[in-house]
Amino acid sequence: MSTDRAIDPADPNNEIKGTGYEIFIAALSVLSIVNLVLVYVIHDQALDFVLYAMNLLLTLVFLLDFLYRFSTADSKAQYFFRGFGWADLLASLPFEQAKILRVFRLVKVGRLMNDYGTKRIMKSLLSDRASSALYVLLLVAILVLEFGSLGMLNLEADVPGANITSASDALWYIVVTMATVGYGDEYPITNAGRLLGTGIIVVGVGIFGTLTGYLANLFLSPRKKKAVASPPDVFVRIATLREMIAQQQAALDDLEEAVERR
């Protein structure tokens, strides 16, 4: 049963750091756990290389997430010991055995869904569309980097004359293509590979276009002016005027009495 509370990331008693941000971290946690399963289920050298590179990237993201939560916590001791901060720290380490602790992040998102309800979460995401779009595109970029590399390697590695023949080649091609740099040292030669490359180019343009717009809005948008103090209430003014009239009337009465005595 959801409550009527609104999500307020600025509330020091609220460990939720924003709906879009929490969902983004939860999605990365799921991806990390899926990668852990793939390492143990599928024994492939190229796959291991790509997943190792992704683990380094996710480790950096989770470490920054822990530092962000720790630095903004109202009570650092309470966050670390009672808010599973220790699990966040261990989960941010680049060890496969510690990745399972990232499930605690999923528990936090589950609690958010239970507390606020799906409708309020959607309303929160729509009210901050710029940040929501940014988190979505960052997630898409990470997914494209991993699965795009694996897909491109699968399409090109065994083709005669191909120059994308290793996991390192595939990762490099995806990175420079998403960044819209396109050095040209690595390129697909199959129709399926070129089609995949076209999709990656489109994703890269969308990511950097959104990022540019977000940063421009962040730095160039005018600052919100401080709220102007509202004028005194009209009833307060009337009461003050009545009090002044009463005082003046009392002074006039005193003067009249003084004149009559003379």
Whose CA is closest to 1, among 120, 83, 154, 130? 120
**Which tokens sit at 147?**
């699965």
End-to-end CA distance of the chain: 83
Helix H segments across the chain?
Answer: 19-41, 45-72, 76-81, 85-91, 103-127, 129-156, 167-178, 191-220, 234-261
The SS3 assignment for 75 reads: coil
> Distances from the Cα of 248 to the Cαs of 212, 218, 261, in angstroms?
67, 58, 20
Quote the pTM value.
Answer: 0.71
Token pair belonging to 184: 């040209």
pLDDT tens digit at each of 262 positions of the chain: 333 344 444 443 355 677 788 888 888 988 988 888 888 888 888 888 998 899 889 989 989 988 988 888 888 888 888 777 888 888 888 777 777 777 777 777 777 667 766 777 777 777 777 778 888 888 999 999 999 999 999 999 888 888 888 899 999 999 998 888 877 788 899 999 999 999 999 888 888 888 787 777 777 766 655 444 445 556 667 777 788 888 877 777 777 777 777 6
Buried b or exposed e, range 197-233, using 16+ CB within 10 angstroms:
beebeebbeebeebeeeeeeeeeeeeeeeeeeeeeee
The CA distance from 244 to 197, in Å, is 81
Q: Are 38 and 46 in contact (CB under 8 A)?
A: no
Which of 102, 100, 69, 97 minimizes the C-alpha distance to 83? 69
> Domain map of the chain by residue range?
1-127, 147-220
**Topology adopted by domain 147-220:** Helix Hairpins (1.10.287)
Which of 167, 158, 163 minimizes the C-alpha distance to 183? 163
